């Protein structure tokens, strides 16, 4: 008889065999989670290629702390792009130092920094337009569904990270790019402060 005094809705809930449990009710009224947990972000980082011995995960400045997927993918895209440019720069540096200037009939200085200053205006125009075209094309490719950072040729459509050989290839590219970024920085500084470039950088080692 006491249950007849309860509000009709609560009375029906008490009689319903499928009524929600107190745990379900508390979950329904719990505040919504906004943002990803640090555990999820750390899991994203630990699953990525590029974390190799002997350094392992290297982030002394904490750039990855608290970052979401979109930001981390942006960082990886930037790392790959700068690494690829640095590898091309290292190759171009030694070609220039060896006197190879196919576009200008070897009329430029063998010193890469001097050659950059001597480059005609038309050469700079070609350089800027070429870089702009590559950037524009890259932005179009990034809009496609399932795009992975740096995968401008669409390799992810044919192979994924379950393939150990593919993972090794990505690790090699990242590590070589990181080394190239350090190398080209050192080459530029040595040329600026000592005037040595090409094989002159190693003469002190072979004496």
pLDDT tens for each residue of 91-149: 999 888 888 877 666 678 889 999 888 888 988 999 999 999 999 999 999 988 888 89
| Six token digits for residue 67 | 């970052």
The answer, yes or no, to whether the previous bond of 161 is cis (omega within 30 of 0) is no
Annotated ligand binding at 12? The verdict is no
197: number of Cβ within 10 Å: 22
Annotated ligand binding at 143? The verdict is no
Residue 27: is its pLDDT beyond 80? no
Annotated ligand binding at 79? The verdict is yes
25, 37 contact by CB (below 8 A) = no
Annotated ligand binding at 82? The verdict is yes
Architecture category of domain 38-206 in CATH: Orthogonal Bundle (1.10)
203, 118 contact by CB (below 8 A) = no
Annotated ligand binding at 108? The verdict is yes
Annotated ligand binding at 23? The verdict is no
């Amino acid at each position: 008889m006491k249950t007849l005094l309860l509000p009709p809705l609560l009375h029906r809930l008490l009689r319903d065999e499928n009524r929600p449990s107190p745990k379900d009710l508390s979950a329904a009224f719990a505040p919504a989670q906004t943002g990803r947990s640090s555990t999820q972000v750390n899991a994203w980082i630990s699953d990525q290629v590029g974390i190799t011995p002997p350094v392992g995960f290297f982030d002394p400045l904490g750039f990855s702390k608290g970052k979401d997927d979109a930001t981390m993918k942006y960082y990886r895209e930037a790392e790959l792009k700068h690494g690829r440019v640095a590898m091309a720069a290292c190759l171009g540096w030694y070609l220039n130092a060896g006197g190879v200037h196919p576009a200008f009939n070897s009329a430029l200085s063998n010193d890469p920094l001097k050659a950059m200053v001597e480059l005609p205006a038309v050469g700079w125009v070609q350089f800027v337009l070429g870089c702009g075209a590559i950037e524009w094309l890259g932005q179009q490719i990034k809009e496609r569904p399932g795009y992975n950072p740096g995968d401008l040729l669409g390799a992810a459509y044919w192979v994924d990270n379950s393939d150990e050989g593919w993972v090794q290839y990505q690790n090699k590219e990242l590590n070589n790019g990181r080394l190239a970024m350090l190398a080209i920085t050192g080459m530029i500084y040595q040329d600026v402060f000592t005037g040595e470039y090409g094989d002159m950088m190693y003469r002190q080692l072979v004496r």
